[in-house]
């Protein structure tokens, strides 16, 4: 959540941030009113509680009718204290709910607007000209059938729409990508992690995924646990309720986990194949650092994502995501989009987000610098979302006979070419 002092010291910045996101600034005004009510209720409770304590000091010294009167007054004050305490709790809960609904103020460096208002920062590589090579490119699902790598029909039979099996070469390709990604992240100084894919509500809410994204998560009501949509959630919560020494930062983790998403609101979009599915595996980078280093670390995360795509020899572009498409927690986000030949467009395969102190405040993760203790900063970045990366590798590396040439970085793990099954 944001620092509540911003509401009192600089509400206009928050209103402007809402406007740049395409959201109503009315939430800021509601928060200011709720904060005033909260502080008023605290003062009212403390006043009546103080009166009760002072009265309690007089009773032992009183006698007779005076003591009876004081006891009667004490009973009346006790009821008022309970009423004031309840009012304080209610006002606090109302304020907290509104505060948690307010997004992290978007960076002024992020483009203004919505989903289509991104800015292209760079384009790398040249898409293949399949016409010049004399054949029509197949999409990843057809290539998956030829290679014996993807089975969506049995995935739907067993689990429903947007589920799949990776078989043979497909399974080996994911395992190769996982090994390469984890080895590469380790070389960059990330600690490999395999985190739990089921988390408590506090972890999901603390990372901002029970707000505007609540419809997209799977909830196990009987156990009150959530299936994570990204290992960002358990990695962020790893240090919840802890104080880290500044000398130990940055702490960088690379988590491999399954990810589960309802894909709410995406019905009818990307239904063919494995580009947009309800479950996929991913290697996610996550960083805890000081607020002063967050922006520089964000650029480093983007640099690592670009190095990864360069190693996979994929044509891609980098975009600066617009404020209205940032989600709840990020102040700025860069997406890397790989070229998908049969769609004739760039599609997101990774993103890097700077969440500043927003998640740390919600998860109570702080940094100690000398005698000072304050919320630290968190950042996250996709290294390899398996299914989308497989889509990009198959379509960009395909040959006329249905085989697929793989980038040199993967050769030690799986070989140079995926051959059609006989």
Q: Which residues are catalytic?
A: 261, 276, 348, 351, 388
Within 10 angstroms of residue 209's Cβ, the number of other Cβ atoms is: 24
Instruction: Check if the beta carbon of residue 207 is closer than 8 Å to that of residue 238.
Output: no
> 150 — phi, psi (to 5°)?
-135, 135
The sign of the CA dihedral 317, 318, 320, 324 is: positive
Task: For residues 48 and 54, give the distance between their C-alpha atoms in angstroms, rounded to a whole number.
Answer: 10
Helix 64-101 vs helix 26-58: crossing angle, to nearest 10: 160
Exposure b/e, 109-133, CB count within 10 A at least 16 = b = ebbebeeebbeeeeeeeeebebeee
Task: For residues 374 and 1, give the distance between their C-alpha atoms in angstroms, rounded to a whole number.
Answer: 14
Task: For residues 396 and 302, give the distance between their C-alpha atoms in angstroms, rounded to a whole number.
Answer: 22
400, 397, 255, 230: which is closest to 312 by C-alpha?
A: 397
Task: For residues 349 and 330, give the distance between their C-alpha atoms in angstroms, rounded to a whole number.
Answer: 18
Binding-site members for ATP are: 261-263, 277-280, 348-351
Map residue 213 onto helix, strand or coil: coil
233, 241, 242: which is closest to 200 by C-alpha?
A: 233
Rg (CA), the chain: 27
Q: Where are the alpha helices (DSSP H) in 107-200?
A: 130-133, 140-147, 152-159, 169-187
Task: For residues 276 and 270, give the distance between their C-alpha atoms in angstroms, rounded to a whole number.
Answer: 6
> 145 — phi, psi (to 5°)?
-70, -45
- The secondary element (H helix, E strand) that includes residue 310 is helix 294-311
Task: For residues 272 and 356, give the distance between their C-alpha atoms in angstroms, rounded to a whole number.
Answer: 37
């Amino acid at each position: 959540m944001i620092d509540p002092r911003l509401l009192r010291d600089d509400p206009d910045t928050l209103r402007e941030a809402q406007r740049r996101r395409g959201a109503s600034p009315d939430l800021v005004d509601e928060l200011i009113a709720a904060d005033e009510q909260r502080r008023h209720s605290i003062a009212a409770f403390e006043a009546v509680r103080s009166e009760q304590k002072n009265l309690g000091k007089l009773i032992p010294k009183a006698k007779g009718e005076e003591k009876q009167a004081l006891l009667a007054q004490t009973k009346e004050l006790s009821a008022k204290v309970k009423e004031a305490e309840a009012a304080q709790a209610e006002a606090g809960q109302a304020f907290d709910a509104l505060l948690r609904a307010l997004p992290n103020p978007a960076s002024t460096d992020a483009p203004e607007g919505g989903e289509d208002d991104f800015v292209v920062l760079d384009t790398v590589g040249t898409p293949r000209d399949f016409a010049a090579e004399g054949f029509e490119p197949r999409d990843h699902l057809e290539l998956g059938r030829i290679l014996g790598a993807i089975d969506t029909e049995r995935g739907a039979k067993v689990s429903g729409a947007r589920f799949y099996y990776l078989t043979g070469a497909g399974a080996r390709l994911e395992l190769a990508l996982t090994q390469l990604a984890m080895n590469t992240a380790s070389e960059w100084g990330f600690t490999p992690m395999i985190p739990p894919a089921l988390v408590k509500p506090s972890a999901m809410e603390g990372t901002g995924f029970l707000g505007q994204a609540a419809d997209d998560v799977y909830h196990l009501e009987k156990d009150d646990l959530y299936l994570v949509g990204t290992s960002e959630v358990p990695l962020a919560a790893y240090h919840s309720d802890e104080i880290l020494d500044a000398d130990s930062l940055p702490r960088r983790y690379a988590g491999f986990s399954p990810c589960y998403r309802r894909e709410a609101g995406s019905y009818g979009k990307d239904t063919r194949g494995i580009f947009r599915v309800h479950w996929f595996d991913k290697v996610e980078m996550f960083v805890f650092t000081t607020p002063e280093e967050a922006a520089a670390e964000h650029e480093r995360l983007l640099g690592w994502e670009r190095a990864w795509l360069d190693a996979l020899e994929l044509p891609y572009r980098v975009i600066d995501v617009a404020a209205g498409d940032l989600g709840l927690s990020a102040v700025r986000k860069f997406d890397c989009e790989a070229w998908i030949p049969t769609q004739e467009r760039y599609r997101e395969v990774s993103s890097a987000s700077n969440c500043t102190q927003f998640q740390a405040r919600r998860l109570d993760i702080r940094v100690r610098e000398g005698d000072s203790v304050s919320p630290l900063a968190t950042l996250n970045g996709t290294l390899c979302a398996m299914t989308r990366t497989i889509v990009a590798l198959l379509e960009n590396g395909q040959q006329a006979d249905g085989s697929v040439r793989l980038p040199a970085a993967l050769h030690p793990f799986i070989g140079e070419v995926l051959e059609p099954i006989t």
